[in-house]
Structure 1
Amino acid sequence: MKRLVLRTGVRWKISIAIAAVGALIALTLSLVVHNAAQGALLDNARDVQLERVRTAERGFEGPKSKNQGFNVKVNDPDLPKELRRLMDEKRRGSYVETRDDEPPVIWAAVPRANGDVLSLHGDFPERSAVILRNLDRALIIGSVSVVAGGCALGVLIGGQLSRRLRKAAAAAANVAEGHTSGRVRDAIGGVVRDETDDLARAIDALTDALNARIEAERRVTADIAHELRTPVTGLLTAAELLPPGRPSELVRDRAQAMRTLVEDVLEVARLDSASERAELQEIALGEFVTRRIAALNPDVPVQVVHESWVNTDPRRLERILLNLLTNAAKYGKPPVEVTVEGRVVRIRDHGPGFPDALLREGPSRFRTGASDRAGTGHGLGLTIAAGQARVLGARLTFRNAAPKGVPASEATGGAIAVLWLPEHAPTAGGSFPLPPSSPASPARGRAKG
């Protein structure tokens, strides 16, 4: 069961976080201020009512009882039970009676010595209600302003961080493609130093360490292969002087295989050094492939669907074709078919297909594949082909063909190698545009050599 993955940018995550915190703070402060203001206004209204009933009480204590114009009632039957309890205790007090969708009623009452209860009540003052409504309106406007400002600030801060991270990711991807001279720290730029710079410096340090290790391994490999070239050449020459016979043929065959291995290792070392440059020529791709395939293996048919002129290195292109044909003949089954369509060359066999591990991981040196495609090679053929394709600014992909009615994940209809030549020739720095991926490819990857 696939997990649902939501992809959002850092900019919006920061904006949402700041807006959420701002809204929470604004809501909390608004509630606190509203409740405090409402409580103060209600307390003031209760004090006013209580003062009025006390004034009325003094009027009732004279020789003639007077209401003082406050509409005081004696022993009001509607007196709230909370105030009635206070009156039983001979204590004066006030009470706020709330009503649905109506202003609250403010009650005040005092007990008299003869047992009567003087009380009065009135609605919450309109002026206080207006003040409270204006305060609520101001709090709402302020809260919305805080949230909007927080969103704008989050977009600004998150956008800056997101741009730096995107630049760092693009620079790291550029380094991963082989442009090891690039630096992530230089790509992100900026004056302010933050964790993004620490990440960039760590990536640059990792790149330098990996480059140093790869260069050391490449140099050791090249040195070993170079030192082996002379004795292997001498061994091959000496083998040619042996008398005819089966033992002599075996010695010559193994000596030639060793010489081929040494030359392949040297070629891989040169390709790893990224110092190889293509010697470009304008050629008709279909005609070129037809002639070269006829020379390499006349039994392989070539179908030119659409002719196209390309600017490429014929020698390196022929090397790629040779290695792909050799791989198909050695590990696949006939018929082997070659198709040229525009700038795309496809070579297909009808064998068991490429192993899954190689489709996932790509060509690996000295790995000749699974047991069902075992052979006598050294595992360098497709490694060299992929390296030569990079020099040409091309892309070499590998997949398995699916017979009719078989899912793409279980494709076993043969191995297909596809060479995508670029629309524009590679520059001196080795940069070039990549061709689009084939939408019809059921499974792409790379295979053994």
Structure 2
Amino acid sequence: MKLPRISRPPRLPLPRWTATLTWKSAVFITVMCCALASLLGVLVHVSVTRQTVGEARHKALDRLADVTQMYEAGEQLPPGAGLDPPELPPSLRRLAVSGKRGTLVDDDHGRPTMWAAGPADGRALAAEIDYTQSARTINGLDKAILGSSILAIGATLLVGVFAVTRITRRLHQTATVARRIDAGDLDARVNDPRTKDPSRPQDEVAIVAGALDTMASTLQGKLLSEQRFTADVAHELRTPLTGLHAAAELLPAGRPAELVRDRVQAMRSLTEDLLEISRLDAGSETVDLDMQQLAPVVERVVRASVASGTAEADTTLTVVRDACVETDKRRLERVIGNLLANAHKHGKAPVELTVHGPVVTVRDHGTGYPDYLLDHGPQRFRTDAGNKGHGLGLTIAAGQAAVIGAELRFANAADGGAVARLELPEYVSFEAPESGERPHAE
């Protein structure tokens, strides 16, 4: 027999702030303060109650001893004493009749009373004393314990949250600097004052901040060394390549000369690309912004690419809506040209360009971009599973797009093919309205 499965109700998602260290610390401090206050309160309550009840018991037994002497002497018993009084608790009465003495706190007509009883000729001889003041003392002590515990918990919680907030603020600052470094800002540093003076004691947060600053400095130094090496290599290669190009032009016509010129030209293009990347890495590029109609710029790039052989003649350009953009024309042409050349070199025809407002889309119908490029962006000379890499074209395109303030995204189409989407800042002209006209986008 198969037992039915019991479905459990789904857990309600907790608010995100409950995962913060401040909230967890506040809960921990509150719980520990409550536990400590409860323990101390119980200990004080038990100790004081035991002492107060003990003193009242001694007084009641002393009074019972005096009443017993008066009973044995045949004297009249004072008020609050007597044989088998009706207010005597039954349990204490039975104890006295059995021949033992005892005490018990009971409520006598709304008044706390300490009873003491003992045997007297087979009956219970009892005496009572007022327990009101002792009960008030214990109740007042309990209220004082509760109030002081609440105040102590509140004060401790405020001090604890303040201390934890200082730590979490430093942790948030360290995390913010780490994100800035991840985004490419290698000059970002935590600069915790505790790490600057070695003689000062350092806590764990300061140690983490110091380690992050050291890592950022080391990483920045390595990257700068690589950038200088790339720039130096490219610069040093220009002179021999220029001479090699001149020598190749002197070779007699023929297939070997064509191969040499082709390889020399490839080396010169690679050297220029390396120099361009070194300038982009150094952040030394300056832009010359101007207003440009986007569709004519893209059309000129397509014609120039077809004429130079980097693009095929069947490249199609579709203008859905033209737009005026504020950009650097030369750098924009460089970006679109590299995207178009990459589509023809690594994709498959047909290659389609679309201008829709300030957005230019370049799509091919090949196998699409590799996963590493979609996840981390273009990487220099990166190859995937032994396949041919994407060289430096997309890296330069991404760098130049960032310089002109454009957003370049890479994706794969659902029906196959790579899609590069370049979105530029559109220029919007706000003119004085005439005849009720509204501001318009050119």
Report the TM-score, using the length of structure 1 for normalisation.
Answer: 0.76
- 3-state SS of 1:379 partner: coil
2:153 aligned with 1:150? no
Deviations 1:119-166 (A, max 9, x none): 437698233333333332333233333333334334433444333333
Distance in 2, matches of 1:52 and 1:59, equals: 11
Distance in 2, matches of 1:59 and 1:288, equals: 124
Task: Return the offset for 1:226.
Answer: 2.1
Query: Which letter does structure 1 place at the counterpart of 2:41?
Result: S
Task: Return the offset for 1:111.
Answer: 5.2
The residue that corresponds to 2:408 in the other structure is 396
2:187 aligned with 1:184? no
The residue that corresponds to 2:9 in the other structure is none
User: Contact (CA 8 Å) 2:174, 2:190: kept in 1 or not?
Assistant: yes
Query: What is the count of residue pairs matched by the alignment?
Result: 401
Task: Return the offset for 1:337.
Answer: 2.2
Q: CA RMSD in A?
A: 3.7
Distance in 1, matches of 2:383 and 2:103, equals: 96
Deviations 1:85-104 (A, max 9, x none): 9x66xx74435689xxx998
Q: Which has the higher contact order (CA 8 A, sep 6+)?
A: 1
Task: Return the offset for 1:321.
Answer: 1.0
User: Contact (CA 8 Å) 2:112, 2:135: kept in 1 or not?
Assistant: no
1:303 to 318, 321, 324: 318
The residue that corresponds to 1:54 in the other structure is 65
The residue that corresponds to 2:286 in the other structure is 277
The residue that corresponds to 1:36 in the other structure is 47
Distance in 1, matches of 2:280 and 2:130, equals: 90
Query: Which letter does structure 2 place at the counterpart of 1:67?
Result: L
Distance in 2, matches of 1:81 and 1:58, equals: 19
Distance in 2, matches of 1:276 and 1:362, equals: 21
2:135 aligned with 1:135? no
The residue that corresponds to 1:419 in the other structure is 422
Distance in 1, matches of 2:408 and 2:381, equals: 19
The verdict on how the C-alpha distance between 1:123 and 1:222 changes in structure 2, with shifts beyond 3 A counting, is farther
The verdict on how the C-alpha distance between 1:95 and 1:320 changes in structure 2, with shifts beyond 3 A counting, is same
Query: Which letter does structure 2 place at the counterpart of 1:357?
Result: Y
Gaps of 5+ in 1: 404-412, 425-449
User: Contact (CA 8 Å) 1:108, 1:121: kept in 2 or not?
Assistant: yes
Distance in 1, matches of 2:129 and 2:244, equals: 116
Task: Return the offset for 1:213.
Answer: 0.9
The verdict on how the C-alpha distance between 1:84 and 1:353 changes in structure 2, with shifts beyond 3 A counting, is farther
Q: Which moved further from structure 2: 156-165 or 31-40?
A: 156-165
Distance in 2, matches of 1:318 and 1:45, equals: 101
The residue that corresponds to 1:409 in the other structure is none
Q: What is the 5 A alignment of 1:82-97?
A: 83=95, 92-95=101-104
The verdict on how the C-alpha distance between 1:304 and 1:129 changes in structure 2, with shifts beyond 3 A counting, is farther
The residue that corresponds to 2:5 in the other structure is none
Give percent identity, aligned residues only.
42
Distance in 1, matches of 2:55 and 2:49, equals: 10
Task: Return the offset for 1:423.
Answer: 6.7
Report the TM-score, using the length of structure 2 for normalisation.
Answer: 0.77
Distance in 2, matches of 1:25 and 1:366, equals: 64
Distance in 2, matches of 1:136 and 1:33, equals: 9
Distance in 1, matches of 2:166 and 2:301, equals: 54
Distance in 2, matches of 1:364 and 1:18, equals: 49
Distance in 1, matches of 2:336 and 2:94, equals: 100
User: Contact (CA 8 Å) 1:283, 1:309: kept in 2 or not?
Assistant: yes
Q: What is the 5 A alignment of 1:303-382?
A: 303-370=318-385, 374-375=387-388, 379-382=391-394
Query: Which letter does structure 1 place at the counterpart of 2:244?
Result: L
Distance in 2, matches of 1:93 and 1:26, equals: 34
Deviations 1:327-354 (A, max 9, x none): 1112222222223334332222222211
1:108 to 116, 119, 144: 116
Distance in 2, matches of 1:186 and 1:275, equals: 30
Q: Which moved further from structure 2: 194-203 or 39-48?
A: 194-203
Task: Return the offset for 1:201.
Answer: 2.9
User: Contact (CA 8 Å) 2:305, 2:341: kept in 1 or not?
Assistant: no
Query: Which letter does structure 1 place at the counterpart of 2:218?
Result: A
User: Contact (CA 8 Å) 1:74, 1:116: kept in 2 or not?
Assistant: no
Distance in 1, matches of 2:76 and 2:170, equals: 82
Task: Return the offset for 1:303.
Answer: 3.3
2:77 aligned with 1:67? yes
- 3-state SS of 1:184 partner: coil
2:29 aligned with 1:18? yes
User: Contact (CA 8 Å) 2:96, 2:118: kept in 1 or not?
Assistant: no
1:120 to 120, 126, 147: 126
The residue that corresponds to 2:90 in the other structure is 78
